[in-house]
Every structure is written in C-alpha cells, then in structure tokens.
Structure 1
Amino acid sequence: MALIEGKKAPDFSLVNETGERVTLADFKGQHVILYFYPKDMTPGCTTEACDFRDKHEDFSKLNVVVLGISPDDVKKHVKFIDKHGLPFSLLVDEDHAVAEAYGVWVLKKMYGREYMGIERSTFLIDAEGNLIKAWRKVRVKNHIEDVYTYLAEWGVTQ
C-alpha cells in the first residue's frame, strides 16, 4: 500500500514502554506525530528524542500527540525514556511490520555492508487519521522546528 498524503494512514497495534497496547485509532480527535527512528541510545536517535521532548509542551498545546517507533524492545524503551526524561510513548515494532506499512523499513548501506533497517522518518496524521505530511530521510538538526512550523502553516493553532 502506497502512502498518499490526504488518505488514511495505516493503523497499527503496538505495545508501548509500559506493555499497554496502542493503536492509531486511540488518538482519534488528536493530531499525531509518528516518528520512526533506528535505535534507542544512539547519538542521532537520542538527539531527535530529546528535541521532541524539549518541544513536547508546545505540541501538546496544539492537541498533538508524539509517538516514537523503533524495533527496540520494552526494556530498552524504558531505559531510554528514564535516562532522557521523555514525556511521550515509544512503541515496540520488533517485527518491523508497522515500519513496513509506512515504507520506512528499507535496504541501508554502511561501510560497504547492506542490511535492512529503519529510514528515519516522521509522519503527521490529522485528527481523523489521515496522513497530512511525510518527512523521509530525516536529518535530525532543525527537524522538530520544521515539523512545528509546518503545523503552524497548516493551521494548527493553540
């Protein structure tokens, strides 16, 4: 299934850091920032998570929920959240089914080696569950500000 802006975003059912089952449908009536990242406790992923943490109050005022998704397990998510004081849920996608549904489980290359992994990406989903904006191959620097600016331009206000 190809993701098309303006169309329904793929629903999912994943476990969060407390073991609670979370679905996209749980957030009907709220906007959702769904961000996929490769791995807890790595430099780029930590910076990105902390940037979302630092902007979390601003997003909350706009009725926007932030959810992070990676293949890491509950134990790693708990450690990551506790270490960095993350105020949002991290979802477990160990079999990368949701990453595949969003088209972010891709062939990557590093040091001449090929492997499958997460392409850092962010998706903005509206209160009705429609995909509004997709940021692919995200570079962490200034990304959260770009998302926040887009929300303002899109007309999401306090």
Structure 2
Amino acid sequence: MKLTKGEKIPEFKLSDHQEEEITLEKFKGKNVLLSFHPLAWTSVCRNQMQALEENYDQFEKNNTVPLGISVDPVPSKRAWAEDIGLENLRLLSDFWPHGEFASKLGIFIREKGISGRVNILVNDQGEILWVKEYDIPELPDIDEVLKVVSDNA
C-alpha cells in the first residue's frame, strides 16, 4: 500500500447497494470514511460493516459519512445489506471494472481478486486524513476508528 496522509485519492464513481451512483462530490462539507472489506458474506467483513452501522450516529455527530466498499456486485451487496440488517450504511460496489478503484489506490490484491481490508478517512476534497491497512482476517478496532474520526471532525 502506498497511500499517505495529505495525498489526494483519485476520483471515483461507484454504485451503492441501492443502485445510487456515489461520488465524493455528494458529501461536500463532510469527511468520508472509505472502509474497504475483501468480500461480502464473510464473518469479519460482516462484523466490520455492522460496527459501522451500529455507530452511524457517532459518525454523523463528527460530520463523517462511512461507506463500505468491496468488489462484490450490486445485487450481492443489496442482499447482504438486507441479510445483516443495514439501514444507514451504504455499501459500494467496486465490481466493474473489477476492483478498479481499489487498484487505483494500490490496495487491490490481484491474485485473490479482492481489495485489502483498509480504512481511509478523507475530507471532501479527497485529501487523506488517515489511512490504516489490516491483515485480511483482522477486524478493525471501531473504537480506534471513531477516535480518529472525532479527532478529524
């Protein structure tokens, strides 16, 4: 991974699980947490996304929008969101071209066809405020994430 604080991420246009097109421009005046998870329908990814959902009000209080992102297609993301009870969190699909956004960020694991597990906090200009990569089986510490979000609100 080559992402560093202060660097700008590339522009993106991804569909969420409700088929709404999402870009950074949609969140003017807010920070955005890009929470990459390797694949839907896996336990650690489920726990990662449910932690974001369960703490959604904390993100809102700190002027931050969390987004879950993986290479799964939109229909899979929609079914998974329903299955794990997501009501607020948007799940974005980096499916086609497969892993293109993750590749631009340098976090796509080509031999596995998935992104790494990475949290990237950016401001509304796409400037990286914080980035952390995790081992694939590691669940990000939601308390650490919330502290970083609060410190950058």
TM-score by length of 1: 0.85
Shift in Å at residue 150 of structure 1? Answer: 1.6
| Structure exhibiting the larger radius of gyration computed from Cα positions | 1
Structure 1 residues 78 and 116: CA distance shift in structure 2, 3 A:
closer
Q: 1:116 to 1:19 in 2, by over 3 A?
A: closer
Please tell me the root mean square deviation across aligned C-alpha atoms, in Å. 1.6
SS class of match (1:136) = strand
SS at match of 1:81: helix
Structure 1 residue 78 corresponds to structure 2 residue 75: no
The answer as to whether partners of 2:34 and 2:120 remain within 8 angstroms in 1 is yes
Instruction: State the aligned residue count.
Output: 147
The 1:118/1:69 distance shift into structure 2, 3 A limit, reads same
Question: What's the offset of the Cα at 1:127?
Answer: 3.1
Percent identical pairs in the alignment equals 28
What is the TM-score when the length of structure 2 is the normalising length?
Answer: 0.88
Q: Work out whether residues 28 and 129 of structure 1, in 8 Å CA contact, stay in contact via their aligned partners in 2.
A: no
CA positional deviation for 1:16: 1.0
The within-5 A match list for 1:9-158 is: 9-86=9-86, 87-94=88-95, 95-106=98-109, 115-137=112-134, 139-140=138-139, 143-154=141-152, 156=153
Runs of 4+ in 1 over 3 A off after TM superposition: none
Give the gaps of 5 or more residues in structure 1.
Answer: 108-113
CA contact (8 A) 2:99 2:113 kept: no
Partner of residue 110, structure 1:
none
- C-alpha deviations, 1:84-115, integer Å up to 9, x for none? 222111111111000111111025xxxxxx63
Is the 2:24–2:124 Cα contact (8 Å) retained in structure 1? no
1:46, distance to aligned residue in structure 2 (A):
0.5
**CA deviations over 1:91-143 (Å, ceiling 9, x no partner):** 11111000111111025xxxxxx6342210010002332111111125215x2
